[in-house]
């Protein structure tokens, strides 16, 4: 009897939990505690998705002047509704709100679409498929930021009215960070004209050799490329993780059907692609920093014995490396 009771209890416990949260949401809403009420309705819907709960959530968001969130809740209710009466209610409420919605467009021109560009909207990655689209948003302040490897970050705040507002934010072309390498060559000492050729105090010819040889200049270039590749890898890795997190937010209940499974799968595929690109970028960073080290130590001035070395870059899918052979 005990095993039978335990085996049948989870479904009833989940329904009871959802119902308790639904009732609590109604009580908090009647007391004017809208923020807590909306949280209770959302928790109830996570425990057991129901059209009635989503309609009540929409009513709660509407009272709190979050018109876009309310409209979205009514639309979600239409996906799950089975009762004709509730379908008519959700349809009427969504249709009544739609003409009042405010919209925000994050505009990204072709000139601004630099490689590795990431747009962040209110702290979350903003998928490129949503760029240049007028999207319903709640009234208030919204923070839009942009970043890309090797460029300065950009950020602005858009203020949107509760209803009937149309706001467009233009993302500019990010300013490139210019890295300069300054080198100072010590002055060459003038030879002592009083010294004879055989004098031990005569300056050596090697003193006129520059320490910054061609190989060492190449080494500096390789080091800069390594830094840029590492930055790109970090940015791509962060973007990949953000897309996977967004997919999890869309379909966080594995046991329940997900109405946004298509969008979640698209985000997962995009995140995996960015992760592969990040691995390649990190591989290039490692290869170039190794090449920089080899070039620097073998690029001594001619007065010093230079090592004989051959460098062969090798690239494979998802990785990059350098083969180094020679005599030091």
| pLDDT tens digits for range 249-304 | 777 665 556 666 677 777 778 878 888 887 887 788 888 778 777 777 777 776 55
267 vs 203: CA distance, rounded Å? 68
Q: What are the backbone angles phi and psi of residue 70, rounded to the nearest 5°? A: -65, -45
Tokens of 14: 């989940």
The residue range of the domain holding 313 is: 210-327
116 vs 236: CA distance, rounded Å? 7
Residue 106 lies in a domain: yes
Mean pLDDT highest for which of 25-34, 242-251, 271-280? 25-34
Are 69 and 143 members of one domain? no
321 vs 328: CA distance, rounded Å? 20
Q: Which one has a higher pLDDT value, 327 or 176?
A: 176
Tokens of 101: 């919605």
Beta bridge partners of 320: 315
Are 221 and 315 members of one domain? yes
Among 99, 120, 148, the domain boundary falls at 99
Tokens of 279: 């691995």
Are 87 and 115 members of one domain? no
278 vs 236: CA distance, rounded Å? 5
pLDDT tens sequence across 53-94: 999 999 999 999 999 999 999 999 999 899 899 999 999 999
Are 68 and 14 members of one domain? yes
What is the β-pairing status of strands 319-327 and 308-316? antiparallel
Are 124 and 147 members of one domain? yes
Q: What are the backbone angles phi and psi of residue 75, rounded to the nearest 5°? A: -65, -40
Among 57, 79, 99, the domain boundary falls at 99
Place of tokens 């390594």: 226
- Letter string b/e over residues 59-70, b meaning 16 or more CB atoms within 10 A of that residue's CB: bbbbebebbbbb
Q: What are the backbone angles phi and psi of residue 76, rounded to the nearest 5°? A: -65, -35
Alpha helices in the chain, H assignment, sequence order: 2-30, 34-47, 51-63, 67-80, 84-97, 214-250, 261-298
Place of tokens 């809208």: 34
- DSSP helix/strand/coil, 70: helix
pLDDT tier for residue 3 given thresholds of 50, 70 and 90: very low
């Amino acid at each position: 009897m005990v095993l039978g009771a335990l085996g049948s209890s989870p479904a009833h416990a989940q329904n009871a939990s959802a119902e308790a949260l639904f009732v609590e949401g109604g009580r908090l809403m009647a007391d004017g505690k809208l923020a807590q009420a909306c949280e209770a309705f959302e928790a109830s819907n996570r425990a057991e998705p129901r059209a009635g709960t989503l309609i009540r959530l929409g009513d709660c968001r509407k009272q709190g002047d979050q018109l876009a969130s309310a409209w979205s809740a009514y639309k979600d209710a239409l996906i799950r509704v089975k009762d004709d009466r509730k379908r008519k209610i959700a349809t009427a409420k969504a249709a009544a709100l739609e003409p009042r919605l405010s919209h925000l467009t994050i505009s990204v021109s072709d000139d601004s679409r630099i490689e590795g560009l990431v747009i962040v909207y209110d702290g979350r990655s903003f998928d490129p498929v949503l760029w240049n689209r007028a999207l319903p948003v709640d009234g208030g302040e919204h923070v839009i930021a942009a970043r890309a490897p090797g460029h300065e970050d950009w950020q602005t705040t858009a203020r949107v009215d509760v209803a009937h507002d149309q706001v467009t934010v233009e993302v500019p072309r990010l300013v490139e960070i210019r890295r300069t390498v300054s080198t100072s060559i010590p002055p060459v000492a003038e030879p002592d004209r009083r010294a004879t050729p055989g004098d031990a105090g005569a300056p050596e010819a090697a003193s006129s050799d520059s320490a910054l040889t061609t190989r060492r200049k190449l080494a500096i270039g390789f080091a800069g490329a390594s830094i840029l590749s590492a930055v790109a890898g970090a940015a791509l890795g962060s973007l990949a993780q953000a897309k996977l997190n967004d997919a999890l937010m869309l379909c966080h209940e594995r046991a329940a059907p997900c109405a946004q499974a298509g969008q979640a799968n698209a985000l997962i595929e995009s995140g995996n692609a960015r992760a592969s690109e990040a691995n390649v970028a990190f591989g290039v960073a490692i290869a170039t920093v190794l090449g920089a080290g080899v070039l620097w130590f073998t690029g001594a001035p001619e007065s010093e014995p230079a090592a004989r070395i051959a460098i062969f870059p090798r690239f494979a899918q998802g990785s990059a490396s350098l083969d180094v052979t020679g005599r030091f």
